[in-house]
Structure 1
Amino acid sequence: MLKKLLLCGASLLFGPVAARAQSVYSATDPLAHTFSIVARDPKTGEMAVAVQSHWFSVGTSVSWGEAGVGVVATQSFTNKSFGPRGLSLLKSGKTAQQALDELLAADEGRDVRQVAIVDAQGRVATHTGRKCIDMAGQQQGPQFSVQANMMLTATVPAAMAKAYEAGAALPLAERVLAALDAAQAAGGDIRGRQSAALLVVRGQATEGPWADRLVDLRVDDSAAPLTELRRLLQLHRAYEHMNAGDLAVEKNNMPQAIAEYQAAERMFPQNLEMQYWHAITLANKQQVPAALKLLGPIFRQDANWRTLTERLPKVGLLTVSPQELKQILAAK
């Protein structure tokens, strides 16, 4: 029933354009009326796209990016293909504007599209179709663009741009989130809020995509998606410390490992995983009494951590004497 109403509404709103419904709306191309930002950090070369909408799982439709290539936001009556096709055009040597022009030229639904692209050189291109639902608009700045449609007020793009420019000292991920917060404070989506996403890629490709997506977070359904997205970013930062701690363990740099685990633990003091590996590192550094103080409360909360501890010596992750191991496993 909802799909019939959407198609019916599209016919009324867009007349002849909507008659070619396959070009404007299909079940695989959601109506991601929303606000978003695409940006490149001139200091690091990193590129980001961030978005919030009153639509389920907006990050699977709007946000696209590739290290060393660029980022794309495709929204309003979304044409998902603009994401991968836009990146492919950039990769072939097109500028952001050339890529956008080519995408729109072949799209009969261009009047209901909203698209923004930033390429790896920081060049920006933005399109807001003349039949995007009010309030709709865009604003470009140095190496960034903000865009919005179906907003409560017309002030959203200007508020986003102002917040982004004011956050120049922040890491790129935190900076684009500040722009989203400003959009919501200015009224945001007239329908409310449901989902959000944040993607940050490297300025240059490295050994593979598994290393090139620096941040890739989505909130698919939430009453406060930006609040949850910021919490996830903070958790992501904490686990960056955990990963750095693991790397230090591999290099047998125990003081560095402890420092990294402690940094993560300070950010999320109730996280048992962070407490646990901090304790195991202490034990491996012959600081068993300090490790026991941490392990006892962990074991009381979840006995599975004790079972895991029994398995660590076999793979060399717990290098204590048999007597010390017995003492650790008896921690209460």
Structure 2
Amino acid sequence: MTFSIIGRCAETGQLGIAISSSSIAVGARCPWVRAGVGAVASQNITLPALGPQVLDALERGQLPPAALDQVLTANGWSDYRQVTVIDSHGRVALFSGKQALGVHNAVAGEQCAAAGNLLASQQVIQAMVDAFEQAGGHLADRLLAAMHAAVAAGGEAGPIHSAALKIAGELTWPLVDLRVDWAEHDPIGQLDGLWQAYRPQMNDYVTRALDPTRAPSYGVAGDE
């Protein structure tokens, strides 16, 4: 049903998530990031509230295991949840409830953690961690490398239809927030294509926001 990876760039401090699912619009419910605080992937039978609540607990100074345990306990039904957490220092916490769907797994790595359910095999998640640790470049490239590795290792037991990539930098809004809400074929490949198109413009949109007098033009009607 879902597989995801959360990660931190040790050089920039950026935090991010890449995720895919057989369900529609996974990016609307499951990935949560907050600059300077952490990232949370809430999946399986998703409760979107878990993401913001865990990030709030991290921001109050709790470590990821304590933050995750507190939020799961407070909301109940934890047997149905699968959640991964990383904080601004790269510390992680993992949880897969007893009712996690099908073949499932969660693995912590260096500055990352991956998890999934209804998988083709448990090895899919280890392949994601290995790919993230071995990849270079921008955090987005490393997260997407992990997603491609998951597909190569078998991915989900069934087809996937949506994917999302979200990264927080130093600003209060996400530096990257890209989604494929429904695709009949290869949503991860389509997400990668969106990243390749967005990447050369990414910093320009930050400039536009912070200093409109320096806003680049992209030839869009009314954009001068």
The TM-score with structure 2 as length reference comes to: 0.90
Q: Which amino acid aligns with 2:53?
A: R
Could you report, residue by residue, the CA deviation over 1:207-226 in whole angstroms, capped at 9, with x for unpaired residues? xx24xx11011110012211
Match of 2:96 in 1: 128
In the alignment, which residue of structure 2 is the partner of 1:197? 164
Runs of 5+ unmatched residues, structure 1: 1-32, 252-256, 262-272, 278-304, 318-332
**1:110 equivalent in structure 2:** 78
Matched, 1:228 2:190: yes
SS at match of 1:121: coil
Q: Which residue of 1 aligns with 2:5?
A: 37
Instruction: Show CA shifts across 1:290-309 (max 9, x none).
Output: xxxxxxxxxxxxxxx7xx7x
Greater share of strand residues, 1 or 2? 2
Q: Which residue of the partner structure matches residue 200 of structure 2? A: 238
Alpha-carbon deviations, 1:99-140, whole Å to 9, x = none?
111012224311121000001121100101122122100110
Q: Indicate the residue corresponding to 1:283 in structure 2.
A: none
Q: Measure the CA separation in 2 of the matches of 1:149 and 1:65.
A: 21
Q: CA–CA distance in 2 between the matches of 1:73 and 1:244?
A: 25
Residue of structure 2 aligned with 1:141, choices 88, 98, 109: 109
What is the match of residue 66 of structure 1?
Answer: 34
Which has the higher relative contact order, 1 or 2, with Cα contacts under 8 A spaced 6 or more apart? 2
Equivalent residue, structure 2, for 1:217: 178
Task: Give 5+ residue unaligned stretches, structure 2.
Answer: none
Q: What is the identity, as a one-letter code, of the residue corresponding to 2:156? A: D
From the CA coordinates, give the structure whose radius of gyration is larger. Answer: 1
Query: Does the residue aligned with 1:79 lie in a helix, a strand or coil?
Result: coil
Matching of residue 46 in structure 1 with residue 14 in structure 2: yes
Which amino acid is the alignment partner of residue 130 of structure 1? K
How far is the alpha carbon of 1:240 from its aligned partner? Answer: 3.1
Q: Which residue identity is paired with 1:185? A: A
Which secondary structure state, in structure 1, belongs to the residue aligned with residue 202 of structure 2?
helix
Within 2, Cα distance between the matches of 1:88 and 1:248? Answer: 30
2:129 corresponding residue in structure 1: 161
CA distance in 2, matches of 1:78, 1:249: 39
User: Does residue 184 of the first structure (1) align with residue 151 of the second (2)?
Assistant: yes
Distance 1:111 1:182, change over 3 A: same
Q: What TM-score results when the alignment is normalised by the length of structure 1?
A: 0.62
The one-letter amino acid of 2:77's match is G
C-alpha distance in 1 between matches for 2:130 and 2:96: 20
- Alpha carbons of structure 1 residues 220 and 237: separation in structure 2 relative to 1, 3 Å: same
**What does residue 75 of structure 1 align with?**
43
1:170 to 137, 152, 159: 137
Q: Retained in 1: the 8 A contact 2:58–2:67?
A: yes
